[in-house]
Amino acid sequence: MTTPVHIVTGGTGGLGYWAAEQLAAAGASVVIAARSEARGEAALASIRRHTPGAEVSFVHLDLADQSSVARAAEELSALPRIDSLLANAGVLSTKGRHETVDGFETMMGTNLLGHAALIGRMLPALSAQPAARVVSLGSISHEFFRLDLDDLQSERGRFREFRSYGRSKLAVMTFAFELDRRLRAAGSRVSSLVAHPGFAVDELAPGRDILPRPKTGNAVSRAAFRTIGQGKDAGALPLVAAVTDPQAAGGQYWGPSGWRQLKGSPTIVSAKDYARDPAVGAELWARVESLTGVRFALGPA
């Protein structure tokens, strides 16, 4: 039996780490693509410690640097097999507006543009596989915002961190659904899905010896979190389901089954209609290709 190969961006900590460990425990070969080699080595050691015989490796990838994305895409595309690319990595907080080395606002530049360029550059290699999947990381926060396609870089007015983060995750989801529409229209065997973890925190997850040390909290904070949330190990389950579940298919959105999708077992959930709007998706697609300079060779859906 051929061993499946899954690439996890940002697999050195948080949800990405847990997804990588769970995929390795299921017998897959896992490639962690991330920025810090020190954190990468710690994550690989932890996975091997908890999953004896795990087949895991590390590739350097800085999503905030388009030249690094290009190098990583070339290295990853040379793998003999790719079953999935889990586009998990992301920036949650920047403490004010900052820019990547390419001049993009950091959250949009990393969460959306870095991953979009990586996917676009790897699409030929993914297309060579029998049924590869691209799984993008969504967020409950997408429900609270709409995109300003004329101000994707948050250059106008006062910078609001949560708004910029929410818009970046909405953009990730909108782009991922547009990608799947275009893949289907092209008759591609690659599928694009979105998954989110609900409200997932380190404090409710088992301990792991990774860098930086995950938060443990205290009895009071853990009890409070437990009423509405779950550990990041449980939060990773919808991501892993989108990657591996035989029933998973392009265009689906996976998340927790519980109230407001905050916690629960992984299932197919609903995203707001705006994220699936083909007109918004097409316009965002054009902006992404223009900003990154990466062309997907996929026509309109």
Is the predicted pLDDT of residue 1 greater than 80, yes or no? Answer: no
Three-state SS for 298?
Answer: coil
Q: Are 175 and 284 in contact (CB under 8 A)?
A: yes
Count of structural domains within the chain = 1
Q: Is residue 83 part of a domain?
A: yes
pLDDT in tens, 214-229: 999 999 999 999 999 9
- The domain containing residue 107 runs over which residues? 5-292
In the structure, what pLDDT confidence band is assigned to residue 54 with cuts at 50, 70 and 90? Answer: very high
Is the predicted pLDDT of residue 115 greater than 80, yes or no? Answer: yes
Q: Is residue 301 part of a domain?
A: no
In the structure, what pLDDT confidence band is assigned to residue 138 with cuts at 50, 70 and 90? Answer: very high
Q: Is residue 300 part of a domain?
A: no
H/E element holding 194?
strand 191-195
Q: Is residue 150 part of a domain?
A: yes
Which of 17, 165, 253, 274 is labelled catalytic? 165
- If one counts every other C-beta atom within 10 angstroms of the C-beta of residue 179, the result is 30
| Model pLDDT, residue 301 | 82
Q: Is residue 96 part of a domain?
A: yes
Task: Verify whether residue 165 is a known catalytic residue.
Answer: yes
Domain of residue 211, CATH code: 3.40.50.720
> In terms of DSSP bridges, do strands 253-256 and 266-268 run parallel, antiparallel, or are they unpaired?
antiparallel
Query: The tokens of 99 are what?
Result: 């820019």
| Model pLDDT, residue 297 | 85
User: How far is the C-alpha of 129 from the C-alpha of 126, rounded, in Å?
Assistant: 6
Q: Is residue 298 part of a domain?
A: no
User: How far is the C-alpha of 105 from the C-alpha of 136, rounded, in Å?
Assistant: 19
H/E element holding 283?
helix 278-292
